[in-house]
Chain A
Amino acid sequence: MRVVTGVVGNDIHVVANRLIEISLKERGFEVFNLGVNTYLEEFIDAVIETDADVLLISSLNGEAEGWSRDLLFLKSRFDLDGVLFAIGGNLSVGEATSEEIVPKYKAYGYDLVFHQVDLNTGIDTIEEVLKERA
């Protein structure tokens, strides 16, 4: 399974990004890590170039929402039906609950949304969904 991952927007928080990469590799994924400060267009390009199964975007500074508004438009331009779109981290700038956040991001075009969810739990869920789809 191929995963493209990285931190969206102007966000230089590298520690969690590296932990995601190490964790995915440990579980046997082939990982393409675009690192911090990555734009949405770059993620989509990488998904196409690598023929990835999963796109896992992360965000720590909470600005991901502003960077996600074009996702449906970009998805409509390319054939990305088989790709699992996931986003996780701290997904709002102020305080917010998962009940508020998850529907919002699903409407932007993500299949899985992890707001302040533990790294292992998040990746476990991704693995389960991939298994169901297979």
Chain B
Amino acid sequence: MFQREREIITSTPYTDSFDFDEIKAFITGASKNLFISHKFKTSDKILVQPRGGFPTYDKVFELYGAFTGAGVDILPLTIDSNTRLNDYEMARKMLALSEENDENMLNGYPLVNHGYRTTRKMVTHYDTPISLRHGTPDARLLVEVALASGIFEIEGGPITYLLPYSKNFPLDKAFLYWKYVERVCAEYSELNEPINRESFGPLSATLQPPAIVIVIQLLEMLLSLEEGVKSFSVSFSQTGSMSQDIVSSNVIKKLARKYAEKIGCGDADIHLVYHQWMGAFPRNKEFSDSLINTSTVIASMVRADKMITKTRDEAFGIPTKEVNAAAVRNTQYTLNMLRGIPSITDEEEEANLTEMVDDIMEAVFNDPADTLWRQVFNSIKNGIIDIPFSPHIANHGEAITVRDKNYNIRFYERGNVPISDKCLAFERSKIDLCGASLVDHIIHDIGIML
């Protein structure tokens, strides 16, 4: 039945005709170097991955050449926004215009329109793991094409690709479409090295409380593992406070293991991905360089398995391949100085964060629904899971966060998020608005890196 569904999804004039037997044979015999799950096992350094994607095949081919020359570990493939909204007709037109006029009419690579037979040539040529970066609530066709192309890491999830990106895409549909993605990844994982799934921890990248980020990471991990995925990356982005990042890392590593074992999936490999600063960047490029270097130091402190880089041109738009490659080279250079640094911790902060995460997780599991995705669905609708600065109508937006004097992100209002009075009191005890109005404080807190 599932195979029938896959045949229907992949039968479209917008991509090349699917030969599932040939795809299976390709994945079975694919080079181990294409699997990030294999690279995680065999590498002893933090893997470095930039962001990037252009409309045409040639431009992406050149971009990968520049990245490879700069010592990249993992290549990205960022998808254009029309494809993210399943508008393959518009993507087709804009691709044609981009090819004719040698101009970028799309903000990424329209993978579905290019098709897997073409894209696979580039993937096997570079023989380096590629990560699919998108933002698509219904990624069924996109992921089929990606896996058939040899792209063996899929980012996203039903919560992290919905709440920050959409106003009214139906939440329940997103869960079901992502269930399809998990099942396809699980099926292909049996053929060779496992397909890696990665969640998108930065969310709306604006004052996101670590407790909520970690809860969402854990839930997307569980939704993936319960479908049979064997390799998963949880992630979060730089908060603006080094100590909060270290505390978050210690807690997410410990709890990912705990909850995976709780559902009988302790055999899965779980990795940690760290995103360099995802908030507003300074326009001063020297400041940007400094910020990126500091992000790299923190990635080492939190013992990430992979780090995703930014560039000094972040404030100005999509970077050129030269600037992007320079950021990779610079990050590798900095990383090389950071071997063997000792691990540190803050026990009081770790205990507080662990308690908040466990309390929210317990409330999700106590929802009377019969499946995990329905429990999570209900928990978003009733505000147990609530992220600041989401455009989505299902998100309550009643939890309010501000920074304390050390730039740690704290709960100011919890809304319906079920953290205890004790934890809320701890969070609020750290906050000092210094006489400013709440909104002025928040504006300052958003712009700390400017």
State the A residues within 8 Å of B (CB): 12, 14-15, 18-19, 21-23, 26, 35-37, 119-120
Contacts and interface: CB of A to CB of B under 8 A. Distances in A.
Interface string B131-154: 000000000000000000000000
Interface in B168-220: 168, 204, 206
B439 A119 contact: yes
Given A18-B388, A37-B167, A23 B204 contact: no
Interface stretch (B30-38, B291-299, B389-397, B419-427): B389-397
A52 to B, nearest CB: 19
B62 to A, nearest CB: 31
Shortest beta-carbon contacts, A-B, top 6: A23-B439, A14-B391, A36-B391, A37-B167, A22-B439, A12-B391
Interface stretch (B116-124, B364-372, B440-448): B440-448
B439 A14 contact: no
B82 to A, nearest CB: 14
A103 B257 CA distance: 61
Nearest to B437: A26
Interface of B: 167-168, 204, 206, 388-391, 393, 397, 400, 437-440, 442-443, 446
A127 to B, nearest CB: 14
Contacts of B204: 14
Given A15-B206, A23-B439, A120-B440, A36 B167 contact: yes
A18 B397 contact: yes
12 contacts: A15-B206, A15-B446, A18-B388, A18-B389, A18-B397, A21-B397, A22-B400, A23-B439, A35-B393, A37-B391, A119-B439, A120-B439
Contacts of B168: 37
Nearest to A38: B167
Contact of B442 (A19, A37, A120): A19
B388 A19 contact: no
Nearest to A33: B397
Of B206, B388, B439, chain A has the most CB atoms within 10 Å of the CB of B439
Nearest to A19: B439
